[in-house]
Structure 1
Amino acid sequence: MSNLTERRRGTSLLAALAGILAAGVVLGIAELAGAFFRASATPIVAMGSTFIDFTPPWLKEFAIDTFGTNDKLALLVGMGITIALLAAVLGIVAFRRWALGVAGVLAMGAIILACVLTRAGASLPDAVPTVVGTGAGLLALRWLVARLRHATVAPSPAPSASVTPVTPVTPVTPDGERPGATTATAATAATAVPRTASRRGFFAAVGVTAVVAGAAAGGGRLLAGARTNIAAVRDGLRFPAPASPAPALPAGVQSPVAGVTPFVTPNGDFYRIDTALSVPQLTTEDWVLRVHGMVEEEFELSFQDLLDADLIERHVTLTCVSNPVGGYLAGTAKWLGYPLREVLARARPLDGADMVLSTSSDGFSASTPLPVLQDDRDAILAIAMNDEPLPVEHGFPVRMVVPGLYGYVSATKWVVDLEVTRFADRTAYWTDRGWSEEGPIKTMARVEVPQSFASVDAGSVMIGGVAWSQQRGITRVEVSVDGGGWEDVTLAAEASVDTWRQWSHELTLESGLHTVRARATDRVDGLQTEERAETVPDGASGWQTVQFTVR
């Protein structure tokens, strides 16, 4: 490979680096400016949220199956790689033809702007962070490209008398045009600037740009956090004693098998699946719930209204519709909140209404059958989880908790709007994407110990897990070992029909490869179906099989 080809390749790599750093400036400055606007006004959040909105169900399921609760992190990493690649290409284009580079940057800015302005509740001022960031990125790119050109065209010191002089390369102007032939005076002057010195100047510019981008992004996040100060609001909250406390958990609700999940899931371990790339930052002062639609009385509720109401406290197991057979997207917590049936009793729904469309502050919506929210189940507007204010990631300050329904049709976090309507008239976020309108939770048994592909000692082998059938209750769990007959296991105590039930069983196994299959029975529908179904459109079904080795 010739020296000229190697030099051109090296220059292209440096131009790509300039493009990537300029993109960093766009995002960093936009993040800083976005601290004074809504979180969805920043490019990363707007683009990521738009991508989530248009994600087909199969891709969503792939992300959850592959990355679990780290699906958003995987999305951000993927976005970062994509942005870096596009920025690298724009950097090379801008170095070779500045006008085309500008057009590319402006086109990307327009796409980001479209993502920002199409978010729920967006207004024209939300465009400011993107516009400011794009302008700053263009300035950074022009500065870096100019420094790189200077380093590229600066010739080495004048050759000695014994070397035949080489005609200097005609430089390229920042506008991508080649000027006339370089005069002898200009060429002589150029020899006064060594190429190494010019390259040092370019790399110094690279360092300054990287620092500016990083400082802007970090400063924006710190400033946004300081302005909302959600942590201080949560720490200062004090809840009244509930009018109806949670019944004490009976002795023996926990399976005796080591390794089975705790009966009450700690807040930090509770699964999180939602569409919010950036967690909404609502304070208790900001929060207002609007109740309207097909009702006799429309009204609003403040957070203080909830604190002044007769609150109830209940243990409820929540399950995600994206949970595969044997999956871990389920958890049990003690929730404190105000019954939704009382909210609807005040609103007095009109004849013909059959659905409540709940909407979060970030635009997500869920369609819940109206009768479910009016019956005697303890569906609530929850304000506390396991004796502390809701974690921000789980809906602070207020979310919905509805026993017996998958979260995509009921468990709206950061809820700010309840519209009483009809399924025939309105649709919700996931029903628009091919999921069923109603999402009753299916009966499921899960083997937790031993885990798949585990290795255990021969002899007495303890197995255990959980089963759930919210609103119906678990009455029986059976296991089949190595394809043999079904054996009843020992059920742990039942807390309520709205919580999962744990189980245990002792086996005597010889060394070798073994399998355990589990199934549950509930009080209403009977035996859990063996028919295998994927999560789309209304939840997975089938009997879980675990394979393990006995030493």
Structure 2
Amino acid sequence: MFGVLATLTGVAAAHLVAALTVPAASPVLVVGSTVIDLTPTPVKEWAIRSFGTADKPILIGSVMLGVLVLAAIAGIVAARRITAGLLMIVGLAMLAGVLALLRPSAGPLDLLPSLVAALVGAVALWWLHRLEESAPGAGVEGAAGPTRRGVLLAAGGLAAAAAVLGSAGRFISAYRLKGTDIDLPTATGTTPPLPDGLDGKIKGISPFRTPTADFYRVDTRLSLPIVDAETWSLTIDGDVDQEVTLTLADLYELEVIERDITLTCVSNDVGGPYVGAARWLGVRLTDVLDLAGIDNTSADQILSTDVDGMTISTPLATATDGRDAMIVFGMNGEPLPRENGFPVRMVVPGLYGFVSACKWITKMTLTTYDDQQAYWTERDWATEAPIKISSRIDTPKPLSDSSPGRIAIGGVAWAQGVGIKGVEVRIDGGPWQPATLGPDAGDDYWRQWFLEWDAAPGQHFLACRATNNDGDVQTPVRATPFPEGSTGIQEIAVNVG
């Protein structure tokens, strides 16, 4: 118990220090991030499919459980040889310190939380064992010193201290993550309002515009970066005519545009939730690159780097082929939330996010795939990753129960960069039936769709497929997300009666 209490106190103190300095350097988060980096791709994809957005809390909990098991062993060792137990506690903390220093953007402050964990944990363990050894019964009968009750009170005090320190760390981190209120510029020209969708007509269908709070988030981060908009900057370097560094105010001086664009994560399986549609405010990516000069570049990729060193690789030719690739600072009329990249991120329609949507971006390097590889490229994901034609059934839900009679089958379909021409529905393996499409907000935006169905009692199987504006039909061939996005037809079972 002493080893666990001492470690919990050390970790809590370290979390508080990290909250005040570098949140991502908190020891448990550092170890968790390392586990993410070392986990094979199939295991990562399994975790996302199995746990969804709960994958990160589960990982953190698993890391913490492993740490506490080792801490318990250290406590047992300390009962026999205090020096060996203390060295184990210090070693656990310093392992996290080494991992913190190996982070791409690590600095001296990244080591501080682990040093605090080592010091507090070791002192707490030594103190508890010193109290126990001097309690009556530990040595000579009736020897002077704290009572057993005093040892228990000391242990309870450490547990309370750990709770207070951990809570303070969480409070400070949450406080520092506030303050995304910045004055956004107005877009040049008039952006037509988004048409009314089918939200109020078809119960259970995805909103035509995804509410910002509900927009999906998939990334490798276990903590959100705390970025100050006042000091943030974006550097364009590499194979350019001149290196350029821009502030947020500099971006505001460029032509500001608004675009309705659907984003999709490559980890989205057929029928999955990792897709969302929003109105983005920002500047054209090409306008930013032109400031550095790329007419004579031999680069074939934009290597984007976020504030903590994460890298994303975007094909240069695709990003500059005339599509509305953007450097974004606004989302649905508000500043970007921190979860979605505050203060600035990249958005490239038609490409999966892992090759196009760098969040918390701070640098763009014009280079080649031969010279430099991004995080996902090193893990054998595709370099060219156009989004596949796909459709999803939102209502009725899989394995749901409905009453017989008229039922609306509805959902969304997307084919970014090309647009959706039609959606068809198949019921119980019968012929494909054309669905009614919702409003059109452009080729980069998804379409809602629905089909009225006279449902008879029993179990039924529903499937959907989309056709894009080029006449290409969604393939029935099943493929997993790795390495370039999933394919296949979604088919669900529902119960009527």
Q: TM-score scaled to structure 2, two decimals?
A: 0.96
Write out aligned runs for 1:146-545 (5 A).
146-151=130-135, 154-155=136-137, 171=139, 186-187=140-141, 189-190=142-143, 198-224=147-173, 228=176, 230-232=177-179, 234-235=180-181, 237-252=182-197, 254=199, 256-349=201-294, 350-524=296-470, 526-545=472-491
Secondary structure of 1:527's partner?
coil
**1:28, CA displacement in angstroms?**
1.7
**1:62, CA displacement in angstroms?**
1.6
Q: Are 2:18 and 1:34 aligned?
A: yes
Q: Counterpart of 2:96? A: 112
State the alpha-carbon separation in 1 of the partners of residues 297 and 471 from structure 2.
30
Question: Residue 247 of structure 1 contacts residue 314 of structure 1 at CA under 8 Å; is this kept in 2?
Answer: no
State the alpha-carbon separation in 2 of the partners of residues 103 and 252 from structure 1.
63
Secondary structure of 1:231's partner?
coil
State the alpha-carbon separation in 2 of the partners of residues 129 and 549 from structure 1.
54
Secondary structure of 1:274's partner?
coil
Secondary structure of 1:498's partner?
coil
Q: Counterpart of 2:3? A: 19
State the alpha-carbon separation in 1 of the partners of residues 184 and 385 from structure 2.
32
Question: Residue 101 of structure 2 contacts residue 107 of structure 2 at CA under 8 Å; is this kept in 1?
Answer: yes
Q: Deviations over 1:144-197 (max 9, x none)?
A: 12233445xx34xxxxxxxxxxxxxx84xxxxxxxxxxxxxx54x43x78xxx7
Larger Rg computed on CA atoms: 1
Range moving further from structure 2, 305-314 or 539-548: 305-314
> One-letter code of the match for 1:342?
D
**1:89, CA displacement in angstroms?**
1.4
**1:252, CA displacement in angstroms?**
4.6
**1:525, CA displacement in angstroms?**
6.0
**1:211, CA displacement in angstroms?**
2.0
**1:118, CA displacement in angstroms?**
0.5
Question: Residue 341 of structure 1 contacts residue 375 of structure 1 at CA under 8 Å; is this kept in 2?
Answer: no
Question: Residue 90 of structure 2 contacts residue 119 of structure 2 at CA under 8 Å; is this kept in 1?
Answer: no
RMSD (Å) for aligned C-alpha atoms: 1.8
Range moving further from structure 2, 102-111 or 406-415: 102-111
Q: Deviations over 1:323-342 (max 9, x none)?
A: 11100110011110011011
**1:102, CA displacement in angstroms?**
2.0
Question: Residue 22 of structure 2 contacts residue 109 of structure 2 at CA under 8 Å; is this kept in 1?
Answer: no
State the alpha-carbon separation in 2 of the partners of residues 255 and 371 from structure 1.
41
Q: TM-score scaled to structure 1, two decimals?
A: 0.86
Secondary structure of 1:107's partner?
helix
Question: Residue 255 of structure 1 contacts residue 492 of structure 1 at CA under 8 Å; is this kept in 2?
Answer: no
Q: Deviations over 1:248-294 (max 9, x none)?
A: 22345658321001011111111111111110010111210010001
Q: Counterpart of 2:29? A: 45
Where in structure 2 are there 5+ consecutive unaligned residues? none
| Residues 480, 343 of structure 1: alpha-carbon distance in 2 compared, 3 angstrom cutoff | same
State the alpha-carbon separation in 1 of the partners of residues 27 and 470 from structure 2.
49
Q: Counterpart of 1:127? A: 111
Question: Residue 29 of structure 2 contacts residue 60 of structure 2 at CA under 8 Å; is this kept in 1?
Answer: no
Q: Give % identity.
A: 41
Question: Residue 292 of structure 1 contacts residue 418 of structure 1 at CA under 8 Å; is this kept in 2?
Answer: yes
> One-letter code of the match for 1:331?
G
State the alpha-carbon separation in 1 of the partners of residues 443 and 364 from structure 2.
27
| Residues 280, 252 of structure 1: alpha-carbon distance in 2 compared, 3 angstrom cutoff | closer
State the alpha-carbon separation in 2 of the partners of residues 255 and 440 from structure 1.
32
Question: Residue 255 of structure 1 contacts residue 464 of structure 1 at CA under 8 Å; is this kept in 2?
Answer: no
Secondary structure of 2:192's partner?
coil
State the alpha-carbon separation in 1 of the partners of residues 260 and 62 from structure 2.
38
